Amino acid sequence: MILHPLRERHRLVPFPGTRLLSDDFGLVGVALPDPKQPNRIWTIQNVFEPLPRCLGGIRARCLDQKSFVSFIDQMSLEVLLGVGEPGDDCGWAGTVYPSPADLNWFGFCCDPIDLADDLFVQELSLRDDHPVLPNGLELQRRVHLDDTQDVIDTHILLWDGDRETGRCPDPRLETIEARWARADREKVRWKFL
């Protein structure tokens, strides 16, 4: 196991104001073939803290060779890394490791919280060049939502500020979705890009 997310909670220290973990557990830069599309290779970019949802482990943000972003949960990640074998007991989750062929396999996917974390990481990168982001700024991102959905999302920055407090710039995670609006979502076929 990479770590026991309940017993080793002290190791799960996010950077202030983020869910991005300061310890990457040696995972950043690790390349993983997608078990559903073996010619698709995912490289881990960042590691995020667990969320209060069914699995509870860390999450890794990954990019593939065509710059699509996706996340993978700790249980699926441990199987792909070979530190957990399908059918064996997953000591921290209270269940067995699934196989990529199982219906309960999560693998590479994004839920709304993962998408918010990715948007926040991309916004942080934009802030390297612009301490205050200009209104109307457009951001395109390629997203692998699940095994059946790849999309190109276009987001527009509404205002780099908090409407309630007037704080500008507003680089907080908790207001990321109020700053940006998705203007377009185009479904694409990965293998044809």
Cα angle 64, 130, 45 (rounded to 5 degrees) comes to: 20
Residues 100 and 131 placed together within one structural domain of the fold? no
Which domain range does residue 45 map to? 9-108
Of 108, 123, 155, the position where a domain reaches its end is 108
Of 64, 84, 108, the position where a domain reaches its end is 108
Residues 124 and 146 placed together within one structural domain of the fold? yes
Residues 46 and 94 placed together within one structural domain of the fold? yes
Total domains present in the chain: 2
Any domain includes 3: no
Any domain includes 152: yes
Of 108, 136, 165, the position where a domain reaches its end is 108
- Give the pLDDT score at 51: 83
Residues 123 and 181 placed together within one structural domain of the fold? yes
Per DSSP, the three-state class of 94 is: coil
Residues 59 and 133 placed together within one structural domain of the fold? no
59, 37 in Cβ contact below 8 A?
A: no
Tokens coding 55: 């699995």
Pairing mode of beta strands 31-33, 180-188: unpaired
What is the residue-wise DSSP string for 140-164? EEEEEEETTEEEEEEEEE--SS-TT
Residues 103 and 16 placed together within one structural domain of the fold? yes
- Give the pLDDT score at 53: 62
Any domain includes 128: yes
Any domain includes 45: yes
Residues 119 and 101 placed together within one structural domain of the fold? no
Any domain includes 4: no
Whole-number Cα distances in Å, 28 to 131, 159, 164: 26, 32, 37
Any domain includes 1: no
Any domain includes 2: no
pTM comes to 0.94
Q: How far apart are alpha carbons 174 and 129 in whole angstroms?
A: 22
Tens place of pLDDT for every residue, the chain, 193 residues? 899 998 999 999 999 999 999 999 999 999 999 999 999 999 999 999 998 766 679 999 999 999 999 999 999 999 999 999 999 999 898 899 999 999 889 999 999 999 999 999 999 999 999 889 999 999 999 999 999 999 999 999 999 999 899 999 999 999 999 999 999 999 999 988 7
Any domain includes 21: yes
Residues 92 and 138 placed together within one structural domain of the fold? no
Residues 48 and 133 placed together within one structural domain of the fold? no
